Structure 1
Amino acid sequence: MRLLLVVACALIDADARVLIAQRPEGKALAGLWEFPGGKVDPGERPEQALIRELHEELGIAVKEPCLAPLTFASFAYAEFHLLMPLFICRRWEGLVGAREGQALKWVFPKDLRSYPMPPADAPLIPALIDLLGA
Protein backbone atom coordinates (compact mmCIF):
# COMPACT_ATOMS: atom_id res chain seq x y z
CA MET A 1 0.00 0.00 0.00
CA ARG A 2 1.28 3.46 -0.92
CA LEU A 3 2.32 5.77 1.94
CA LEU A 4 1.20 9.38 1.58
CA LEU A 5 2.88 12.01 3.74
CA VAL A 6 0.68 15.04 4.41
CA VAL A 7 1.31 17.85 6.92
CA ALA A 8 -1.32 19.78 8.84
CA CYS A 9 -1.30 22.80 11.08
CA ALA A 10 -3.43 23.91 14.00
CA LEU A 11 -3.22 27.68 13.79
CA ILE A 12 -4.10 29.03 17.23
CA ASP A 13 -5.38 32.58 17.72
CA ALA A 14 -5.18 34.81 20.82
CA ASP A 15 -8.48 33.37 22.11
CA ALA A 16 -7.12 29.76 21.95
CA ARG A 17 -9.31 28.93 18.95
CA VAL A 18 -8.11 26.67 16.14
CA LEU A 19 -8.57 27.37 12.43
CA ILE A 20 -10.33 24.74 10.34
CA ALA A 21 -11.06 24.81 6.61
CA GLN A 22 -13.93 23.20 4.72
CA ARG A 23 -12.94 21.21 1.65
CA PRO A 24 -14.53 22.88 -1.39
CA GLU A 25 -16.82 21.21 -3.92
CA GLY A 26 -14.95 19.22 -6.54
CA LYS A 27 -12.28 17.97 -4.11
CA ALA A 28 -12.21 14.53 -2.52
CA LEU A 29 -14.07 14.58 0.82
CA ALA A 30 -15.77 17.87 -0.17
CA GLY A 31 -17.73 19.51 2.62
CA LEU A 32 -15.64 18.01 5.42
CA TRP A 33 -13.61 20.23 7.76
CA GLU A 34 -9.87 19.81 8.21
CA PHE A 35 -6.74 21.46 9.49
CA PRO A 36 -4.91 23.50 6.82
CA GLY A 37 -1.95 21.80 5.16
CA GLY A 38 -1.20 19.48 2.29
CA LYS A 39 1.07 16.97 0.61
CA VAL A 40 4.81 16.94 1.15
CA ASP A 41 6.58 17.14 -2.23
CA PRO A 42 9.55 14.87 -3.01
CA GLY A 43 12.73 16.26 -1.46
CA GLU A 44 10.76 18.61 0.81
CA ARG A 45 10.86 18.53 4.60
CA PRO A 46 7.47 18.53 6.39
CA GLU A 47 8.07 22.01 7.85
CA GLN A 48 8.93 23.42 4.40
CA ALA A 49 5.79 21.86 2.93
CA LEU A 50 3.63 23.33 5.68
CA ILE A 51 5.09 26.83 5.25
CA ARG A 52 4.42 26.57 1.49
CA GLU A 53 0.89 25.21 1.93
CA LEU A 54 -0.10 27.83 4.53
CA HIS A 55 1.03 30.57 2.15
CA GLU A 56 -0.80 29.01 -0.83
CA GLU A 57 -4.04 28.26 1.05
CA LEU A 58 -4.26 31.13 3.54
CA GLY A 59 -1.88 33.85 2.34
CA ILE A 60 0.14 33.91 5.56
CA ALA A 61 3.89 33.73 6.15
CA VAL A 62 5.09 31.32 8.82
CA LYS A 63 8.66 30.97 10.03
CA GLU A 64 9.91 27.46 10.78
CA PRO A 65 10.76 28.14 14.49
CA CYS A 66 7.06 29.01 14.99
CA LEU A 67 5.98 25.46 14.04
CA ALA A 68 5.88 23.00 16.93
CA PRO A 69 5.07 19.31 16.34
CA LEU A 70 2.13 18.21 18.50
CA THR A 71 0.93 14.77 17.38
CA PHE A 72 0.30 12.77 14.21
CA ALA A 73 -2.35 10.68 12.50
CA SER A 74 -1.76 7.33 10.84
CA PHE A 75 -4.79 6.17 8.87
CA ALA A 76 -5.37 3.45 6.27
CA TYR A 77 -7.65 4.67 3.49
CA ALA A 78 -8.63 2.13 0.79
CA GLU A 79 -6.13 3.47 -1.78
CA PHE A 80 -3.23 4.61 0.46
CA HIS A 81 -1.97 4.89 4.01
CA LEU A 82 -1.90 8.47 5.30
CA LEU A 83 0.77 9.67 7.70
CA MET A 84 0.02 13.21 8.88
CA PRO A 85 2.07 15.12 11.45
CA LEU A 86 0.13 17.96 13.09
CA PHE A 87 2.07 21.10 13.99
CA ILE A 88 0.79 23.98 16.07
CA CYS A 89 1.49 27.59 15.20
CA ARG A 90 0.64 30.67 17.25
CA ARG A 91 2.61 33.25 15.22
CA TRP A 92 2.37 34.21 11.57
CA GLU A 93 2.52 37.29 9.40
CA GLY A 94 -0.40 38.51 7.33
CA LEU A 95 -4.15 38.10 7.57
CA VAL A 96 -5.65 34.64 7.28
CA GLY A 97 -7.79 34.43 4.15
CA ALA A 98 -9.36 31.70 2.01
CA ARG A 99 -7.33 31.61 -1.22
CA GLU A 100 -8.65 28.29 -2.60
CA GLY A 101 -12.42 28.68 -2.31
CA GLN A 102 -12.60 27.00 1.09
CA ALA A 103 -14.70 28.18 4.03
CA LEU A 104 -12.69 29.02 7.15
CA LYS A 105 -13.77 28.96 10.78
CA TRP A 106 -12.07 29.65 14.13
CA VAL A 107 -13.29 27.02 16.60
CA PHE A 108 -12.65 26.26 20.28
CA PRO A 109 -11.06 22.79 20.61
CA LYS A 110 -14.03 21.47 22.64
CA ASP A 111 -16.29 22.28 19.67
CA LEU A 112 -14.17 20.64 16.94
CA ARG A 113 -16.16 17.39 17.09
CA SER A 114 -19.25 19.33 15.95
CA TYR A 115 -17.67 19.67 12.49
CA PRO A 116 -17.59 16.58 10.27
CA MET A 117 -13.92 15.77 9.49
CA PRO A 118 -12.07 13.21 7.38
CA PRO A 119 -11.36 10.03 9.39
CA ALA A 120 -7.65 10.89 9.69
CA ASP A 121 -8.28 14.34 11.25
CA ALA A 122 -10.69 13.43 14.07
CA PRO A 123 -8.07 11.52 16.17
CA LEU A 124 -6.00 14.74 16.35
CA ILE A 125 -8.65 16.57 18.40
CA PRO A 126 -7.82 15.13 21.87
CA ALA A 127 -4.23 16.41 21.67
CA LEU A 128 -5.54 19.92 20.94
CA ILE A 129 -7.99 19.73 23.83
CA ASP A 130 -5.16 18.57 26.12
CA LEU A 131 -2.96 21.46 24.94
CA LEU A 132 -5.52 24.27 24.93
CA GLY A 133 -8.12 23.06 27.43
CA ALA A 134 -11.75 22.20 26.88
Structure 2
Amino acid sequence: MPTQIVVAGAVIAVKEGRPAVLIAQRRRPPELAGLWELPGGKVMPGESEPAALARELAEELGLDIDAITVGERLGADVVLNRINPAMTLRAYRVELVRGEPRADDHQALRWVTSVELPNIAWVPADRAWLVDLARALW
Protein backbone atom coordinates (compact mmCIF):
# COMPACT_ATOMS: atom_id res chain seq x y z
CA MET A 1 0.00 0.00 0.00
CA PRO A 2 1.43 3.45 -0.90
CA THR A 3 2.44 5.96 1.73
CA GLN A 4 -0.12 8.69 2.52
CA ILE A 5 1.42 12.19 2.38
CA VAL A 6 0.15 14.60 5.04
CA VAL A 7 1.10 18.26 4.75
CA ALA A 8 1.30 20.76 7.61
CA GLY A 9 1.51 24.53 7.45
CA ALA A 10 3.86 26.68 9.50
CA VAL A 11 1.78 29.86 9.22
CA ILE A 12 4.19 32.59 10.32
CA ALA A 13 3.17 36.19 10.97
CA VAL A 14 4.28 39.12 13.08
CA LYS A 15 2.11 39.35 16.18
CA GLU A 16 2.64 42.08 18.77
CA GLY A 17 5.90 43.01 17.06
CA ARG A 18 7.39 39.49 17.13
CA PRO A 19 7.36 36.60 14.65
CA ALA A 20 4.93 33.86 15.71
CA VAL A 21 3.60 30.59 14.29
CA LEU A 22 -0.03 29.52 14.32
CA ILE A 23 -0.72 26.25 16.13
CA ALA A 24 -3.98 24.33 16.41
CA GLN A 25 -5.32 22.23 19.28
CA ARG A 26 -6.72 18.86 18.17
CA ARG A 27 -10.25 17.72 18.93
CA ARG A 28 -9.70 14.12 17.80
CA PRO A 29 -8.76 11.29 17.86
CA PRO A 30 -9.08 10.77 21.62
CA GLU A 31 -5.38 9.93 22.07
CA LEU A 32 -4.37 13.28 20.50
CA ALA A 33 -7.25 15.48 21.68
CA GLY A 34 -5.98 18.57 23.49
CA LEU A 35 -2.49 18.40 21.97
CA TRP A 36 -1.17 21.07 19.61
CA GLU A 37 -0.04 20.74 15.99
CA LEU A 38 0.67 22.63 12.82
CA PRO A 39 -2.63 22.63 10.89
CA GLY A 40 -2.90 20.71 7.63
CA GLY A 41 -4.13 17.44 6.20
CA LYS A 42 -3.93 14.68 3.63
CA VAL A 43 -2.88 15.08 0.01
CA MET A 44 -5.55 13.64 -2.27
CA PRO A 45 -4.67 11.61 -5.41
CA GLY A 46 -3.63 13.90 -8.27
CA GLU A 47 -3.22 16.90 -5.96
CA SER A 48 0.09 18.71 -5.45
CA GLU A 49 1.33 19.12 -1.90
CA PRO A 50 1.06 22.95 -1.96
CA ALA A 51 -2.49 22.77 -3.41
CA ALA A 52 -3.50 20.23 -0.76
CA LEU A 53 -2.08 22.38 2.02
CA ALA A 54 -3.85 25.52 0.77
CA ARG A 55 -7.13 23.57 0.51
CA GLU A 56 -6.77 22.01 3.98
CA LEU A 57 -5.85 25.32 5.62
CA ALA A 58 -8.76 27.11 3.93
CA GLU A 59 -11.16 24.40 5.16
CA GLU A 60 -9.75 24.12 8.69
CA LEU A 61 -9.15 27.81 9.35
CA GLY A 62 -12.14 29.36 7.58
CA LEU A 63 -10.02 31.27 5.05
CA ASP A 64 -10.32 31.95 1.32
CA ILE A 65 -7.99 29.60 -0.54
CA ASP A 66 -6.45 32.53 -2.46
CA ALA A 67 -5.52 34.15 0.88
CA ILE A 68 -2.94 31.39 1.50
CA THR A 69 0.52 31.32 -0.08
CA VAL A 70 2.45 28.08 0.41
CA GLY A 71 6.21 28.59 0.42
CA GLU A 72 9.26 26.37 0.82
CA ARG A 73 9.56 23.16 2.82
CA LEU A 74 10.38 23.45 6.52
CA GLY A 75 12.39 20.67 8.15
CA ALA A 76 12.66 17.02 7.22
CA ASP A 77 9.98 14.44 6.52
CA VAL A 78 8.46 12.74 9.56
CA VAL A 79 7.62 9.11 8.75
CA LEU A 80 4.94 7.31 10.76
CA ASN A 81 5.32 3.59 10.00
CA ARG A 82 3.21 2.16 12.79
CA ILE A 83 -0.10 3.07 11.21
CA ASN A 84 -1.74 1.63 8.13
CA PRO A 85 -1.24 3.09 5.63
CA ALA A 86 2.15 4.47 6.57
CA MET A 87 2.19 8.28 6.58
CA THR A 88 4.84 10.82 5.70
CA LEU A 89 4.37 14.26 7.22
CA ARG A 90 5.83 17.30 5.45
CA ALA A 91 5.81 20.87 6.72
CA TYR A 92 5.81 24.03 4.59
CA ARG A 93 6.14 27.70 5.42
CA VAL A 94 2.87 29.51 4.77
CA GLU A 95 1.96 33.17 4.47
CA LEU A 96 -1.55 34.46 5.08
CA VAL A 97 -2.15 37.22 2.57
CA ARG A 98 -5.35 38.28 4.31
CA GLY A 99 -7.97 37.06 6.73
CA GLU A 100 -7.95 35.96 10.34
CA PRO A 101 -7.86 32.21 11.05
CA ARG A 102 -10.76 30.61 12.96
CA ALA A 103 -10.77 27.32 14.86
CA ASP A 104 -13.39 25.69 12.60
CA ASP A 105 -11.88 22.19 12.85
CA HIS A 106 -9.90 22.50 16.09
CA GLN A 107 -10.58 23.20 19.77
CA ALA A 108 -8.47 26.36 19.67
CA LEU A 109 -5.85 28.30 17.72
CA ARG A 110 -2.88 30.10 19.21
CA TRP A 111 0.04 32.19 17.96
CA VAL A 112 3.32 31.24 19.68
CA THR A 113 6.83 32.67 19.56
CA SER A 114 10.11 30.74 19.38
CA VAL A 115 10.54 31.07 23.16
CA GLU A 116 7.20 29.33 23.77
CA LEU A 117 7.73 26.40 21.36
CA PRO A 118 9.38 23.97 23.84
CA ASN A 119 6.62 24.47 26.42
CA ILE A 120 3.73 23.45 24.15
CA ALA A 121 2.02 20.05 24.53
CA TRP A 122 2.69 19.00 20.92
CA VAL A 123 1.42 15.94 19.10
CA PRO A 124 4.49 13.67 19.08
CA ALA A 125 5.14 13.84 15.32
CA ASP A 126 5.27 17.66 15.18
CA ARG A 127 8.02 17.79 17.84
CA ALA A 128 10.46 16.81 15.06
CA TRP A 129 10.07 20.31 13.56
CA LEU A 130 10.68 22.39 16.71
CA VAL A 131 14.28 23.34 15.88
CA ASP A 132 13.28 24.30 12.32
CA LEU A 133 10.29 26.30 13.61
CA ALA A 134 12.45 28.15 16.12
CA ARG A 135 14.96 28.98 13.36
CA ALA A 136 12.13 30.22 11.08
CA LEU A 137 10.90 32.55 13.84
CA TRP A 138 14.26 34.33 14.40
What TM-score do the two structures reach when normalised by structure 1?
0.85
1:13 to 2:13 alignment: yes
1:47 CA displacement: 0.7
Equivalent in 93, 98, 120 of residue 98 of structure 2: 93
CA contact (8 A) 1:72 1:83 kept: no
RMSD: 2.2
Q: Deviations over 1:41-95 (max 9, x none)?
A: 1111111111111111101235499322222332334224321221112333221
1:123 to 2:138 alignment: no
Task: Give the AA of the match of 2:10.
Answer: A
CA contact (8 A) 1:62 1:93 kept: no
Cα distance in 2 between the residues matched to 1:122 and 1:114? 11
My pick for the range that moved more, 66-75 or 40-49, is 66-75
> Equivalent pairs: percent with the same residue?
37
Task: Give the AA of the match of 2:135.
Answer: D
Equivalent in 38, 41, 45 of residue 44 of structure 2: 41
In structure 2, list runs of 5 or more residues that go unmatched: none
Change in CA separation of 1:129 and 1:76 when aligned onto 2, cut-off 3 Å = same
Q: Secondary structure at the match of 2:3?
A: strand
In structure 1, list runs of 5 or more residues that go unmatched: none
CA contact (8 A) 2:26 2:34 kept: yes
- Provide the aligned length of Structure 1 versus Structure 2: 133
Cα distance in 2 between the residues matched to 1:126 and 1:26? 26
Cα distance in 2 between the residues matched to 1:65 and 1:20? 16
1:72 to 2:73 alignment: no
Q: Secondary structure at the match of 1:17?
A: strand
1:6 CA displacement: 0.3
Q: Secondary structure at the match of 2:125?
A: coil
CA contact (8 A) 1:47 1:64 kept: no
The answer for the alignment partner of 1:61 in structure 2 is: 64
My pick for the range that moved more, 34-43 or 109-118, is 109-118
Structure number with the higher strand fraction is 2
Task: Give the AA of the match of 1:97.
Answer: R
